[in-house]
């Protein structure tokens, strides 16, 4: 059975931190690809107050076997005290693309 591909979500406070994280994860082969989506408006509860911020969302493509190393590196790089990192297994997709993710998220 092929290695499970994961789609990970991570919000960042600005383009600078989002780009730095994306480049590190791809450059270190912790992810095959990271898409940056600007203009996200997040509303959340933090330290007892409801807050709304503008953020960039990272869509990170990796494999289950690389997830723990990716998580550790993201936590080192991320400026937030409690960064969002949610991983969802990819159940279906274009087989050739998923193979490409597996081949490029190695280390």
* CA distance linking residue 36 with residue 102, whole number of Å: 20
Percent of the chain, pLDDT > 70?
A: 99
Domain extent for 18? 5-102
Mean pLDDT of the chain: 97
* CA distance linking residue 30 with residue 106, whole number of Å: 7
Q: Write down the pLDDT at residue 6.
A: 98
Looking at residue 76, which CATH number applies to its domain?
3.30.70.120
Contact 64, 71 (CB under 8 A): no
* CA distance linking residue 89 with residue 4, whole number of Å: 7
Query: Considering the domain boundaries, does residue 13 fall inside one?
Result: yes
* CA distance linking residue 55 with residue 52, whole number of Å: 10
Contact 6, 64 (CB under 8 A): yes
Q: Which residue has the tokens 């933090």?
A: 46
Query: Considering the domain boundaries, does residue 107 fall inside one?
Result: no
| pLDDT tens digits, 68-107 | 999 999 999 999 999 999 999 999 999 999 999 999 998 7
Count of structural domains within the chain: 1
């Amino acid at each position: 059975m092929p290695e499970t591909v994961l789609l990970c979500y991570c919000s960042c406070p600005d383009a600078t931190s989002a780009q730095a994280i994306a480049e590190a994860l791809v450059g270190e082969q912790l992810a095959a690809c990271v898409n940056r989506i600007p203009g996200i408006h997040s509303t959340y509860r933090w330290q007892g107050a409801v807050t709304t911020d503008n953020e960039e969302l990272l869509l990170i493509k990796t494999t289950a076997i690389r997830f723990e190393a990716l998580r550790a590196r993201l936590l080192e790089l991320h400026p937030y005290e409690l960064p969002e990192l949610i991983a969802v297994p990819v159940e279906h997709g274009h087989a050739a693309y998923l193979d490409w993710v597996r081949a490029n998220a190695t280390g």
